[in-house]
A and B are shown apart, each in its own frame.
Chain A
Amino acid sequence: AQKVTQAQTEISVVEKEDVTLDCVYETRDTTYYLFWYKQPPSGELVFLIRRNSFDEQNEISGRYSWNFQKSTSSFNFTITASQVVDSAVYFCALSEGGGADGLTFGKGTHLIIQP
Chain B
Amino acid sequence: NAGVTQTPKFQVLKTGQSMTLQCAQDMNHEYMSWYRQDPGMGLRLIHYSVGAGITDQGEVPNGYNVSRSTTEDFPLRLLSAAPSQTSVYFCASSYSRTGSTSGGFYEQYFGPGTRLTVT
Give residues in A with beta carbon < 8 Å to B.
4, 9, 33, 35, 37, 43-45, 47, 50, 91, 93, 95, 97-108
Contact = CB atoms under 8 A, between A and B. Distances in A.
B2 to A, nearest CB: 14
Contact of A103 (B88, B103, B108, B113): B108
Interface stretch (B12-20, B43-51, B62-70, B74-82): B43-51
A43 B113 contact: yes
Contacts of A102: 33, 35, 45, 48, 58-59, 108
Interface in B29-57: 31, 33, 35, 40-45, 48, 50
Nearest to B45: A102
A105 B44 contact: yes
B27 to A, nearest CB: 13
Contacts of B11: none
A98 B112 CA distance: 25
Contacts of A33: 107
Contacts of B50: 100
A10 B109 CA distance: 25
A38 to B, nearest CB: 11
Nearest to A92: B42
Interface of B: 31, 33, 35, 40-45, 48, 50, 58-59, 88, 90, 94, 101-110, 112-113
A91 B107 contact: no
Contacts of A4: 42
B41 A99 contact: no
A105 B42 contact: yes
Which 4 A-B pairs give the minimum distances between C-beta atoms?
A98-B104, A105-B42, A102-B45, A45-B110
A17 B110 CA distance: 30
A107 B101 contact: no
6 contacts: A43-B88, A45-B113, A91-B42, A98-B104, A102-B45, A102-B48
